[in-house]
Amino acid sequence: MLAYTAARLALVAVVTAVILGVGHLVGIREFPVTVALLFAIVIGLPLGIWLFTPLRRRATASMAALDERRRTDRAQLQARLRGTSASEPPRTENGEHRDG
């Protein structure tokens, strides 16, 4: 996920430099960097999604795996607190199994 974020930030930096460079080429010497940066962010958002699709998919898969591991750890912790195994469903106050 860090690689995807770094790639998106690098893309914004490159687009900012391109905007400033084009501004100098057409004779605009005092083009505000802030304006170039804002345009670069607006251009870089959709462009980054399109250019960095493999990185985005890897980051999404990484977050899904982390989420699943947290969900499993939480279920195991709750089972230990109840005094049951993680595969056994929770029981109600009268000892019957409860769904969910």
Domain boundaries, the chain: 2-82
What is the 3-state secondary structure of 26-79? CCCCCCCHHHHHHHHHHHHHHHHHHHCHHHHHHHHHHHHHHHHHHHHHHHHHHH
Say what the pLDDT of residue 83 is.
86
pLDDT digits (tens, 9 = 90+) for 59-94: 888 889 999 999 999 999 998 998 876 666 556 666
pTM of the model: 0.62
Q: Is the pLDDT of residue 5 over 90?
A: no
Instruction: Say which residues have a Cβ less than 8 Å from residue 58's Cβ, sequence separation at least 6.
Output: 3, 4
